[in-house]
A and B are shown apart, each in its own frame.
Chain A
Amino acid sequence: MHRGMENPVQPGRPRGTVPAPLRYVSRRPVIDLERVSKTYGDGATRVEALVAVDLHIPAGQFVSIMGPSGSGKSTLLNLVSALDVPSDGRITIDGQDIGALDDDALTLFRRRKIGLIFQFFNLLPTLNATDNVLLPVMLERAVTPDDRARALAVLGDVGLARRAHHRVHELSGGEMQRVAIARALILEPRLILADEPTGNLDSATGRSILELLKKTARDHGTTVVMVTHDRTAAEAGDRLVLLRDGRLEGDQAVGPAAAGGA
């Protein structure tokens, strides 16, 4: 529908090689928050960033999180990303209780199960696009020619086949986010988590990035959780979760799913 300057032509791989869409198939939640709270500091500086949040996200769902600034969106996303552990409550991701893991286990968990995309400064400026995509692989093991081929394929999927060997500073903002998406995909994670991935982009570019995320999620059956400020962006997903003052304020289906369900 909306095509911006960043036209995601996707010659990529033939449709047939993509695993069958998994969305709505599994009822078992891939993300499971039970009465999760997070407080920072104590005494006078104590901040309750999240209060007793219950949230269950089934595999394959594209969930947007919205809320005013300071409402706890990033905190929630950090917890789900296994970047942080809750002060109270229980978080299970893909069957793993996050609270039970030490730092190394959390790190490996992130590396293997989660793809992360940030608002800006996602990439290492010293590496070219392909190597940035391959970074999670490099952290895991020595890169094989197969890995390289795969990285190029994923870059093709995100429409950057011709930018594969460009340095980061030679890419536009939208291209950088595409590289970040490709990097998030390289190890075929169960989850993709994005904190305002379009926050730093003009609206047209932002839209194309959202399209890409959506399509990726559908093609790979990946669960996506995205924090955003932007109502239109939020409606790109299947479900919209609203936060206010660290509490769940709303949880509704959006997009075609909502339309179909209504």
Chain B
Amino acid sequence: MGRLFRPIGRAFTSALLGLVHLAALALSPWRIGRLLRTVSLPRFHEHGLRTALTVLGIALGVAMLVSVVLVNRSILRSFADTLDDISGKADLEVTAAASFEEAALETVRAVPGVTHATPVVQETALMRLPQAPGERLLIIGVDFLGEDDEHFRRYDSTEMKAIKDDPIAFLNASTHVIVSRALADRFGLKLKDTLPLQTPTGVQSFQIWGFIEDEGVGRAFGGNVAVMYYQAMQVAFDKGTRIDRIDVAVDPAAGPDTIAARLRAALGPGYDAARPERRNTQVAQMLGGLNLALTMGSLVAILVGMFLIYNTMSISVVQRKRELGILRALGTTRRQILLLFTLEGGLLGCVGSALGVFLGLFLARGMLGVITASVNEIYLQVAATDVHVDPVLLLGSGVLGILGAVASAFIPAREATRVSAVETLRTGHAPKHVAPGLHRTDLLAVGLLLGAVLARSLPPVDGQPFGPYASTILILLAVALAMPRIIGLVHRALARPAERLFGVEARLANDNVPRDLRRATITSGALMVGVSLTVAFGCFLESFKVSTLTWVAQTVPADLFVTSGARFGGVKNIPMADTLRDDLAALPGVEEVDRIRLVNIVYRDLPIKLLSAGLEIFSKHSHMTFLQGDAETSVPAVQAGDVMVSENLARRFGLVVGDTLRLASPKGEKAYRLAGVILDYTSDQGTIIMDRATMIRDWDDARVDTYELYLTAGTNPEVVKREIEARWGEALNLYVLTARDFRGELEKVLDQTFAVMSALELVALIIAVLGVVNALLATVIDRIRELGVLRAIGMLRRQVRRMVMLEAGILGVSAVIGGLLAGLALAWVLTNDIFLAQSGWYIALLVPVLPMVQLTVAVIGVSTLAGWYPARAAARLVVSDALEYE
């Protein structure tokens, strides 16, 4: 193993040292640069591995930040680009809560100051091409025969021109489409080829009548885009005479805001007229919680990287006391020393950040796919395929890394200035223990904890819980300050059992831990941060999973779930025209069939879900948890036309039973009385629940996202599932999930959604483990003579190895204890404050015991292994040289 690692390690170390050299060289015109070169560089070389690990730690932290912000930005950007490609030239768009009757177009056109207005229908469909499995297609239906459309969009293609000149043949069928050149090239599609698409009425064969070039509309949605005549599309997608929005251009003299006001007045309540960019804001807001969580996670990785720099620099100061004494004696001023050490940290930070930015660019490519998949699963369809490289973000992340490094080098640097010119070599220094009694740091820790408690209760800003986030940082700092105490306790507790279990090596290792208490504190403190993040997130995820799955079991207890185009109804699936209900109900063993429809609507400018179900069936099987109202009164009220809302929506808008909710349905504004608030995990934005009859009446929408089947007792769901798949599976691209499948898939989506977060914790842990390697290398160097004596009087190499590794393990034990404490506190804030603020969901905090035990064992094991390299170095010391070492 060593043989394989050593050349790689060496190449890596020298590459990083090379970079540090280059950076130092760049500073050489200044005096401090020369000092850096003559004083610091040899030092970096002497401790090449430690320098390299420090740089790597910073690099990993910055890389995480870079990739997270780039991915966040790329997803938003991809959405904005598609919006811009399709509606870029619209000054305003007219929308309702969901789709609306095209009759509104006449009203819009009649408003003075409106120069152009044209209808748009928009859907995402699933392609059923063998060469394009799972690919989705954005289809926009436009009125390209009307003159107004030309103002908004250009399609630039010969076929399109031909169609416009002679539209009759094209308009002859509802299945004629024009696709982007990119799509055609990618999947080898030619003119008049058929393109099978999953639509609400099943798979339909569309026919390609032309191509649009890769500009404007042609490059929207990553190029997976098709254009239809809007009325054809209404037919093909079972949309009646409804459209999704109206693009509007206005007389520049009047200005869009004036016209928007006029439009709102003319259309009446329920309609909205606003700039198209508003949708970007909505999406940004929708993804805000996810983005903030990821960004905070990556900032923690940088924080751990800062611990690493801090530790490296303070080790460096201690080890160079003599050199510092000489420098001071030679007339180097305190300021120069301060600058020198700060610059050293900054230099490591620069190289680390530069490397991190570079690494982050690569990482972002991988991460984009994962995060986009989650967003597509739970929020909306985006086709983010390219990382949008934003130089400002790159620069910002890099600068943050450098500033972090400089800041963390500052305290050790200040200590370096305190070294006097007559500093003597330390020998046989007495071990320091944490003195009993209160210290300044204890008071500070308590103060920080109080601050954390206060910050928790700060109200969210823009819906984002910055206060609770600050509280998490304060908790981490407080526990970090308490680390010396924890280390002291662990040291005392282990004194006897360690020796009994592992012999004298353990005793010596344990004795050694408090000798340089600060180093031990920082090292295990960094590890503590990594552990606490893992603990907090593990607890949160478990709690969320349990809450969700319990809710599913109680509230959505169907035996089979039937959707089209995707596993779940809501975002990715294709709503079905209601053709299956009677057939499904007629299947042997099926007791009842409920029909669920989920519509994306906008309520008070927030994109939420409107859910309809057959309340009679639903309420019979489901044990809804009522937070306001109760089953006896609420259910009949909803059947009579009232609505219920989810817990999170009620919390977000302070809704109480009896309130009136005004929604813009396709038939104009409708007012609904709120009859109940229930536990519901359909959408983290919020859900309004109504009876299916109400939705059909007011929203003219009889489509079905999910058929929920209840089976008669004793029926094997697998048998019914196979039957459904055999009869309609292929034609309707059905996904039939048993209750068991459903839970499994749900868990998978949750895990996938939080996978990046888990990766962030892992990186923080890795950086912290680098810190352990780093600190133990320093410990070994500090004790070369002592190790020489031990070896000389008969300590075997393997005993030395065990001793150093056990010391690393003991640091791991302290880190785990601190990490569990901090982690549980963080988990509390995460679930009760942060998640509550971001999703509006209150979930009960659970601590998964077994994973916590596993984590404890793993962290202690890994930190012990982190001692392997320093241990090997210690064991390989040439005894006679070590004895000569001073």
Residues A104 and B508 in contact in the complex (CB < 8 Å), given A168-B428, A169-B428 = no
Is A97 located at the chain interface by the 8 A CB criterion? no
Minimum distance in angstroms from B482 CB to a CB of chain A: 24
The 8 A CB mask of B821-851 against A (1 = contact, 0 = none) is: 0000000000000000000000000000000
The 8 A CB mask of B797-816 against A (1 = contact, 0 = none) is: 11100000000000000000
Is A136 located at the chain interface by the 8 A CB criterion? yes
**B794, A118: Cβ atoms under 8 Å?**
no
Q: Which residue of A lies closest to B786 (CB)?
A: A124
**A125, B789: Cβ atoms under 8 Å?**
no
**A104, B430: Cβ atoms under 8 Å?**
no
**A135, B793: Cβ atoms under 8 Å?**
yes
**A83, B879: Cβ atoms under 8 Å?**
yes
Minimum distance in angstroms from B779 CB to a CB of chain A: 13
Minimum distance in angstroms from A209 CB to a CB of chain B: 18
7 new A-B contacts, CB < 8 A, other than A116-B792, A116-B793, are A83-B883, A107-B796, A124-B789, A127-B511, A136-B793, A139-B796, A139-B799
**B789, A107: Cβ atoms under 8 Å?**
no
The one of A81, A124, A142, A167 in contact with B508, judged by C-beta atoms closer than 8 angstroms, is A124
Size of the chain B interface, CB-CB below 8 angstroms: 30
Is A108 located at the chain interface by the 8 A CB criterion? yes
A103 cross-chain contacts in B, Cβ below 8 A: 797
| Residues 94-119 of A at the B interface (beta carbon under 8 Å) | 103-104, 107-108, 110-112, 116, 118
Minimum distance in angstroms from A166 CB to a CB of chain B: 12
Is A207 located at the chain interface by the 8 A CB criterion? no
Give the A-B pair count, Cβ closer than 8 A.
81
Bound complex: CA A74 to CA B879 (Å): 13
Minimum distance in angstroms from A200 CB to a CB of chain B: 10
**B791, A139: Cβ atoms under 8 Å?**
no
Is B329 located at the chain interface by the 8 A CB criterion? no
Bound complex: CA A167 to CA B884 (Å): 24
Q: Which residue of A lies closest to B878 (CB)?
A: A84
The 8 A CB mask of B779-791 against A (1 = contact, 0 = none) is: 0000001100111
B726 cross-chain contacts in A, Cβ below 8 A: none
Minimum distance in angstroms from A148 CB to a CB of chain B: 14
Bound complex: CA A61 to CA B794 (Å): 24
Is A26 located at the chain interface by the 8 A CB criterion? no
**B427, A121: Cβ atoms under 8 Å?**
yes
Q: Which residue of A lies closest to B500 (CB)?
A: A142
**B792, A121: Cβ atoms under 8 Å?**
no
**A125, B429: Cβ atoms under 8 Å?**
yes
The one of B511, B785, B883 in contact with A126, judged by C-beta atoms closer than 8 angstroms, is B511
B883 cross-chain contacts in A, Cβ below 8 A: 83, 118
- Give the 5 A-B CB pairs with smallest separation, nearest first: A111-B794, A126-B511, A138-B504, A169-B430, A78-B880
B786 cross-chain contacts in A, Cβ below 8 A: 121, 124
Is B512 located at the chain interface by the 8 A CB criterion? yes
A139 cross-chain contacts in B, Cβ below 8 A: 504, 793-796, 799
Is B485 located at the chain interface by the 8 A CB criterion? no
Bound complex: CA A110 to CA B797 (Å): 13
Q: Which residue of B lies closest to A142 (CB)?
A: B503
Residues A125 and B793 in contact in the complex (CB < 8 Å), given A83-B879, A138-B507, A139-B799 = no
**B508, A126: Cβ atoms under 8 Å?**
yes
15 contacts between A and B (CB under 8 A): A81-B792, A107-B794, A107-B795, A110-B794, A120-B427, A121-B789, A122-B789, A124-B511, A125-B515, A126-B431, A126-B511, A127-B511, A135-B504, A138-B503, A169-B428
Bound complex: CA A6 to CA B789 (Å): 25
**B797, A107: Cβ atoms under 8 Å?**
yes
The one of B507, B515, B792 in contact with A110, judged by C-beta atoms closer than 8 angstroms, is B792
The 8 A CB mask of B487-516 against A (1 = contact, 0 = none) is: 000000000000000011001100110010
Bound complex: CA A111 to CA B793 (Å): 5
Is A183 located at the chain interface by the 8 A CB criterion? yes
Most buried by A among B511, B790, B796: B796
Q: Which residue of A lies closest to B876 (CB)?
A: A103
Most buried by B among A74, A84, A110, A139: A139
Is A140 located at the chain interface by the 8 A CB criterion? yes
Minimum distance in angstroms from B784 CB to a CB of chain A: 11
Q: Which residue of A lies closest to B882 (CB)?
A: A83
Residues A108 and B796 in contact in the complex (CB < 8 Å), given A84-B880, A118-B883, A125-B430 = yes
Q: Which residue of A lies closest to B875 (CB)?
A: A103
A142 cross-chain contacts in B, Cβ below 8 A: 503
B503 cross-chain contacts in A, Cβ below 8 A: 138, 142
A112 cross-chain contacts in B, Cβ below 8 A: 794
Bound complex: CA A194 to CA B426 (Å): 23
Minimum distance in angstroms from B767 CB to a CB of chain A: 30
Minimum distance in angstroms from A231 CB to a CB of chain B: 24
B790 cross-chain contacts in A, Cβ below 8 A: 124, 135
**A125, B428: Cβ atoms under 8 Å?**
yes
**A167, B796: Cβ atoms under 8 Å?**
no
Bound complex: CA A150 to CA B90 (Å): 96
Bound complex: CA A108 to CA B512 (Å): 24
Bound complex: CA A167 to CA B432 (Å): 12
**A126, B512: Cβ atoms under 8 Å?**
yes
Q: Which residue of B lies closest to A138 (CB)?
A: B504
B511 cross-chain contacts in A, Cβ below 8 A: 124, 126-127
Is A30 located at the chain interface by the 8 A CB criterion? no
B427 cross-chain contacts in A, Cβ below 8 A: 120-121
A225 cross-chain contacts in B, Cβ below 8 A: none
The 8 A CB mask of A133-164 against B (1 = contact, 0 = none) is: 00110111010000000000000000000000
Minimum distance in angstroms from A167 CB to a CB of chain B: 7
Is A123 located at the chain interface by the 8 A CB criterion? yes
Bound complex: CA A84 to CA B882 (Å): 12
The one of B428, B507, B794, B798 in contact with A140, judged by C-beta atoms closer than 8 angstroms, is B794
B793 cross-chain contacts in A, Cβ below 8 A: 110-111, 116, 135-136, 139, 183
Q: Which residue of B lies closest to A113 (CB)?
A: B794
Bound complex: CA A121 to CA B884 (Å): 11
The 8 A CB mask of B430-443 against A (1 = contact, 0 = none) is: 11000000000000
Bound complex: CA A118 to CA B785 (Å): 11
Bound complex: CA A126 to CA B431 (Å): 6
B429 cross-chain contacts in A, Cβ below 8 A: 125, 169
Q: Which residue of A lies closest to B792 (CB)?
A: A116
Bound complex: CA A74 to CA B792 (Å): 14
Q: Which residue of B lies closest to A105 (CB)?
A: B796
Bound complex: CA A174 to CA B880 (Å): 24
A138 cross-chain contacts in B, Cβ below 8 A: 503-504, 507
| Residues 846-886 of B at the A interface (beta carbon under 8 Å) | 878-880, 883-884
| Residues 165-213 of A at the B interface (beta carbon under 8 Å) | 167-169, 183
Most buried by B among A108, A121, A127, A169: A121
Q: Which residue of B lies closest to A120 (CB)?
A: B427
The one of A74, A118, A121, A183 in contact with B428, judged by C-beta atoms closer than 8 angstroms, is A121
**B794, A121: Cβ atoms under 8 Å?**
no
| Residues 394-438 of B at the A interface (beta carbon under 8 Å) | 427-431
A121 cross-chain contacts in B, Cβ below 8 A: 427-428, 785-786, 789
A84 cross-chain contacts in B, Cβ below 8 A: 878-880
Q: Which residue of B lies closest to A84 (CB)?
A: B880
| Residues 318-338 of B at the A interface (beta carbon under 8 Å) | none
Minimum distance in angstroms from A8 CB to a CB of chain B: 23
A125 cross-chain contacts in B, Cβ below 8 A: 428-431, 515
Bound complex: CA A110 to CA B883 (Å): 15
Minimum distance in angstroms from B667 CB to a CB of chain A: 83
A126 cross-chain contacts in B, Cβ below 8 A: 431, 508, 511-512, 515
| Residues 49-107 of A at the B interface (beta carbon under 8 Å) | 74, 78, 81, 83-84, 103-104, 107
Minimum distance in angstroms from B514 CB to a CB of chain A: 9
Most buried by A among B512, B790, B792, B793: B793
Minimum distance in angstroms from A246 CB to a CB of chain B: 16
A116 cross-chain contacts in B, Cβ below 8 A: 792-793
Bound complex: CA A124 to CA B512 (Å): 10
Bound complex: CA A83 to CA B799 (Å): 17
Bound complex: CA A121 to CA B799 (Å): 20
Bound complex: CA A178 to CA B883 (Å): 19
